[in-house]
């Protein structure tokens, strides 16, 4: 059994993070010491690591709840349910990568258009392009 500080350290999160997940009903603290301290099991540690890894991949709390419910009750779920949640996140990431690539190209155009010298910025091509909207800062939007 672990106290909250020990559990947090083992899972590389803060105690506040654990309390937050408890408030979100993603974790429980069923056991307490006589002094009222929460005690956690190895299963709680595994669940916390599961949540942390899912958060690192950018899953929403709702998606993590769904994945947890699939993990907790695998007899009543299919792999397709998990896969569809992952596919949705993958689509979001791919869309974001596309947006970032467009942004990168626009920033590169702005950068390439500027001489970068130490002269006054009165005639700075970057500022002019942004002001006129010709920097294509967000193409297609």
Mean pLDDT value of segment 58-85: 93
- Is 55 in the same domain as 115? no
Helix (H) or strand (E) holding 130: helix 125-132
Within a domain: 140: no
- Is 19 in the same domain as 45? yes
Look at residue 49 in the predicted model and tell me its pLDDT: 95
Q: Is the four-CA dihedral 100, 104, 110, 116 of positive or negative sign?
A: positive
- Is 10 in the same domain as 44? yes
Residue carrying the six token digits 């950018």 = 58
- Is 98 in the same domain as 71? no
Phi then psi for residue 13, to 5 deg, are -135, 180
Mean pLDDT of the chain: 88
> Looking at the predicted structure, is the pLDDT value of residue 140 above 50?
no
- Is 51 in the same domain as 103? no
Domain at 128, CATH number:
1.10.1660.10
> Looking at the predicted structure, is the pLDDT value of residue 27 above 50?
yes
Alpha helix ranges (H) inside 12-78: 15-23, 42-56, 61-72
Mean pLDDT value of segment 75-85: 93
The percent of residues in the chain predicted with pLDDT above 70, rounded, is 94
- Is 67 in the same domain as 27? yes
- Is 64 in the same domain as 102? no
Residue-number span of the structural domain to which 128 is assigned: 89-132
- Secondary structure (3-state) at 65: helix
The percent of residues in the chain predicted with pLDDT above 90, rounded, is 59
Q: State in Å, rounded, how far the first CA of the chain is from the last one.
A: 53
Q: Is 91 exposed, middle or buried (0-12, 13-18, 19+ CB in 10 A)?
A: exposed
Within a domain: 139: no
- Is 95 in the same domain as 125? yes
Look at residue 30 in the predicted model and tell me its pLDDT: 74
- Is 12 in the same domain as 57? yes
Share of the chain residues as helix, strand and coil, in percent rounded to the nearest 5: 65, 5, 30
> Looking at the predicted structure, is the pLDDT value of residue 108 above 70?
yes
Look at residue 139 in the predicted model and tell me its pLDDT: 45
- Is 8 in the same domain as 73? yes
- E strands, the chain, are 31-32, 38-39
Q: How many independent structural domains does the chain possess?
A: 2
- Is 69 in the same domain as 29? yes
Look at residue 64 in the predicted model and tell me its pLDDT: 96
- Is 9 in the same domain as 59? yes
Mean pLDDT value of segment 3-15: 94
As given in the structure block, the two tokens for residue 26 are 């993603």
Within a domain: 141: no
> Looking at the predicted structure, is the pLDDT value of residue 52 above 90?
yes
């Amino acid at each position: 059994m672990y106290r909250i500080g020990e559990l947090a350290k083992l899972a590389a999160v803060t105690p506040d993070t654990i309390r937050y997940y408890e408030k979100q009903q993603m974790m429980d603290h069923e056991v307490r010491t006589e002094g009222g301290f929460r005690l956690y099991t190895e299963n709680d540690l595994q669940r916390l690591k599961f949540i942390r890894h899912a958060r690192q991949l950018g899953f929403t709390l709702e998606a993590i709840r769904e994945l947890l419910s699939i993990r907790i009750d695998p007899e009543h779920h299919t792999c397709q349910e998990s896969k569809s949640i992952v596919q949705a996140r993958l689509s979001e990431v791919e869309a974001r990568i596309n947006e970032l690539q467009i942004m990168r190209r626009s920033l590169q155009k702005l950068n390439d258009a500027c001489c970068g010298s130490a002269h006054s910025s009165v005639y700075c091509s970057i500022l002019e392009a942004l002001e006129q909207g010709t920097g294509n800062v967000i193409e297609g939007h």
